[in-house]
A and B are shown apart, each in its own frame.
Chain A
Amino acid sequence: MNFDATNRWVGCFTQPADAKQMKHHVIRITVNGDRHTLAVAPHWTLVEVLREHLRLTGTKHGCGTGDCGACTVLLDGRSVNSCLTLAVEVDGREITTIEGIASSGGELHPVQDAFIAHGATQCGFCTPGMVVSSVQLLATNSRPEEQEIRHALGGNLCRCTGYTKIVEAIAAAATQGEEAEG
């Protein structure tokens, strides 16, 4: 039997054919407090724009299908998978990546401190997404129960740690935040 081997596989690429001919749109976005004006094709994803155009490589390519959470960023303060978010959709909006979680002076967020102190990182590849999801969790729920932490991390996969130290780190960061407020 003769057949076209490639076409069976090209089917998995999400790209439309002749993508280059597609019209670019100008978007204005704020990333970690910096304003950018960019011309983007309609099929470009936010993670591509962050990594390839803005050189913010802390946000990772993981699965490309919104299942692993390695590309998690904050969009107007809410966590999203930047691999499932089209760049044209975020025109006029505010994005925080892992590079924008610490203060501009380099002072770490309590979640970041806690991840370091609790040994919650191993290879570090899921860590940016984990930290961003955790920051959002604590922004909406300052004293989460353990089950709430696990639930909030449901969209972030880690292959190294077994999650225990990550959950402990987030719980500790929450406690620390409460003490700071009190």
Chain B
Amino acid sequence: MRPTTPLHRPHPHESARLHVTGGALYVDELPEARNARIGLIVPAGVAHGRVVRIERSRAESAPGIDAVLLASDIPGEALIGPIAHDEPVLAGDEVRYAGQPIALIVGESLEACRDAAGLMRFEIEELPATLSIAAAIAEESFFGDPHIIRRGDVEAALESAQTRVEGELSTPAQDHFYLETQAALALPLEAGGWQIFSSSQNPTEVQQLVARTLGVGRHRVVCDVPRMGGAFGGKESQGALFACLAAIGAARIGRPVKLRLTRREDMAMTGPRHPFWSTYEAGFDRDGLIQAFKVATYADGGFSLDLSPAILSRALFHLDNSYYIPTLRFEGRICRTHKPSTTAFRGFGGPQGMAVIEDAINRFAERTGRDPTSVRVRNFYGEAPRDRAPYHQRIPEPRLSRIHSELSADAEVESRASEIAVFNAGSLHVKRALAFQPVKFGIAFTNRILNQAGALVHVYRDGTVQVNHGGTEMGQGLHTKMQVVCADELGIPLDNVRVMRTSTGKVPNTTPTAASSGSDLNGQAIADACAKLRARLGPVAAGMMGRACDEDLCFEGDRIATTDAERSVPFHEVAMQAWLERVSLSATGYYATPGISYDIEAGRGCPFFYFAYGGAFVEVALDGRTGRHRLLRVDILHDVGNSLVPSIDRGQIEGGFLQGVGWLTCEERIESPDGRVVTLGPSTYKIPAAGDAPRELRIRLLDRAGESRTIGGSKAVGEPPFMLALGVVTALRQAVAAFDGRTASEVELRLPATPESLLRAIETRAG
């Protein structure tokens, strides 16, 4: 590592000072929003219905109201969506989920708009609604064809297996609960131009869909993303609707319009993580090795396609988690229901897939009285032939065994396991348990096209630099990492590099900031731009030092130096000299991830660039009288390659893990029988609070973990740690079993493992 590089060192978040002083601006408070009119969305109240009549004249003439828009008022195309265009910006003839936007009111204040909303009248003829995966299967209400991955003769392998485990598993929905709700601001400019500010992970898609909705070319629309107050996938596709609504409102009145949802509106109108229902059969041999795994899984896609095919694919790609499966058949389908369209959420189907095989392993271990950790370790990917994923991609050098053995030592597993046994023997009402969870997560967009990125780097004559890249900042620290990459590439101080807010006017045709790939893709694009700049500045510097113009130079410590370090010139003097010599100080960069391909018909290919690994030991305490549980201690060893910024990566691991704990233990989205979400706020929908975090959390980044072919040898970190939380379920199952001490008996635990669910599990075993 070069002495002055900021790479691989801890740094505060680049906006940290703004965060702690209240100076960080989000869409709702941009100066451009000050004189904007306010938009209010009127949602439909039924899950499925035919719109007979909408009465808006009283609302239109209410005080302070500029306009009331319906589907028929959309100037361009009325349908949007990230893959298929099947989502109405406003419901037209048909309402397809409770909470679907049906009218947009624009006025001088939210108050005026709310008063006007009360003056609208709707006649909607209610129609039968499909409100569950079971109902969708019964009615054969699906999107597209099944996605099937197979290898070998799974039926024969199941027949001959020593132990055959059958089960079914429902994994729950999860609301993103980003602290900043969906928000957008649309400003009409001169000559038919538009400036959109959106809280979106995908400004290019916002640009595209706003242009489509307005019926103008994409060159008329610029979308900027200042920063987001959290996103987690919930703003990958679903921010676009609100930008389109703000835009049609602004187009109608010729003035800027701002939309910001209340928490309640956000939770009713936007879709959560896909609930999945899976049935499986798993065959194990006498050594506990998986011989066969047959899974049929169904995802609730909601009313529109959104990103469901890609999410289903990733679920199927992660049904193996960390384990080699010789024969298999995985089949997945997307159910079409009358619910908000389910969407991307950290892990993107991966958690739902992994949960299935973890459930199978837990049941096998419980039924046969084996140690679940040993079963997991024994089944790890390894040397050929145990190195082929279900889709036939080779898993090179899996780091799973190394992670398990190092983490076992770190976490003092042996001594703690005996302590726990002693504790449980002497404790009637509280039982403790310790469980291990490995994770292997494929990195890349499984859709080849999305694996590309652009950057635009400007050097100014004083040697300071602006970086533009296609990624968005949602709190994950991407801009901090990109600042560090740029400073390293040009050998200049971090303070001299400013990361600009994301804009489609600076870097066009970008990919969403998703799939944990933000720093992988944009980091490479920035490095490419910086390499061009070095190639232009090198000869200038060489000339200033009286050296040959093709001499190799070193960019380091805010200077450009000869490799023998005999001569050097300050970076800013070279920048000025380059300008004087009419050498361009601005460069674009581009990157496309090599080698990604997948044939969905054959269920074969290389959908991933590399794999990220991690492991966790989780200790829980469960009170058998109340079902309350605590995370006593969590040890995590995670593979982030050579971390670009270790402090940022640790934050991702901590936060991802606890979000996974929320999904699996306390976040319960409840719907009424007629399909309306009733848990529309934090008082009823419980995300983890400070007291729910592990009492003791020890995180270590795997050392000697550099990855070839990636920026700075780093690996993606956004999603993989989320799935480490599956270890909490294994630990809770063991704690449930500890109350009766019966071995060779399975635990029936519904997810999320709330106190109620845990009490039920304890009582079910007691009979």
Report how far A165 CA is from B26 CA in the complex, Å.
23
Q: A107-144 interface mask toward B, CB cutoff 8 Å, 1 = contact, 0 = none?
A: 01001100111010111111110010000000000000
**Which chain A residues lie closer than 8 Å to B682 at the CB level?**
63, 65, 67-68, 157
Within 8 A of A (CB), among B101-149: 102, 111-112, 114-115, 117-118, 120-126
- A51 with B29: CB separation less than 8 A: yes
The stretch of A10-18, A23-31, A85-93, A174-182 that contacts the partner chain: A10-18
Within 8 A of A (CB), among B408-434: none
> CB-nearest residue of chain B relative to A122?
B475
**Which chain B residues lie closer than 8 Å to A163 at the CB level?**
658, 688-690, 693
**Which chain A residues lie closer than 8 Å to B683 at the CB level?**
63, 65, 67
- A160 with B230: CB separation less than 8 A: yes
Chain A contact residues, majority secondary structure = loop
- A162 with B658: CB separation less than 8 A: yes
- The answer to whether residues A124 and B227 also contact, given A5-B45, A8-B45, A63-B682 and a CB cut-off of 8 A, is yes
**Which chain A residues lie closer than 8 Å to B275 at the CB level?**
none
Q: How far is the CB of B101 from chain A (nearest CB, A)?
A: 11
**Which chain A residues lie closer than 8 Å to B121 at the CB level?**
4, 6
- B264 with A102: CB separation less than 8 A: no
The stretch of B333-341, B365-373, B508-516, B645-653 that contacts the partner chain: B645-653
Say if the beta carbon of A172 comes within 8 Å of chain B: no
**Which chain B residues lie closer than 8 Å to A112 at the CB level?**
20-21
Q: How far is the CB of A51 from chain B (nearest CB, A)?
A: 7
- B111 with A122: CB separation less than 8 A: no
- B228 with A116: CB separation less than 8 A: no
**Which chain A residues lie closer than 8 Å to B687 at the CB level?**
157, 159
Say if the beta carbon of A54 comes within 8 Å of chain B: no
Within 8 A of A (CB), among B1-41: 10, 12-13, 15-26, 28-29
**Which chain A residues lie closer than 8 Å to B46 at the CB level?**
5
Q: B626-668 interface mask toward A, CB cutoff 8 Å, 1 = contact, 0 = none?
A: 0000000000000000000001101100111111000000000
**Which chain B residues lie closer than 8 Å to A121 at the CB level?**
13, 15-16, 19-20, 475
- A119 with B651: CB separation less than 8 A: yes
Q: Which of B13, B126, B264, B657 contacts A64 (CB 8 A)?
A: B264
- B230 with A9: CB separation less than 8 A: no
- A5 with B122: CB separation less than 8 A: yes
**Which chain B residues lie closer than 8 Å to A67 at the CB level?**
681-683
- B22 with A98: CB separation less than 8 A: yes
- B124 with A160: CB separation less than 8 A: no
Q: How far is the CB of A182 from chain B (nearest CB, A)?
A: 25
Say if the beta carbon of B43 comes within 8 Å of chain A: yes
**Which chain A residues lie closer than 8 Å to B112 at the CB level?**
20
- B124 with A5: CB separation less than 8 A: yes
> CB-nearest residue of chain A relative to B474?
A123
> CB-nearest residue of chain B relative to A109?
B20
Q: How far is the CB of A21 from chain B (nearest CB, A)?
A: 10
**Which chain A residues lie closer than 8 Å to B693 at the CB level?**
150, 162-164, 167
Q: List the 8 closest pairs (A to B, CB-CB), nearest first.
A: A58-B22, A123-B475, A125-B229, A124-B19, A162-B654, A98-B22, A122-B475, A57-B29
Given contacts A2-B124, A68-B263, A119-B648, 16 further A-B contacts (CB under 8 A): A7-B118, A15-B111, A58-B23, A68-B179, A101-B21, A108-B20, A115-B20, A123-B178, A124-B227, A124-B229, A127-B24, A150-B691, A158-B690, A160-B651, A161-B655, A165-B654
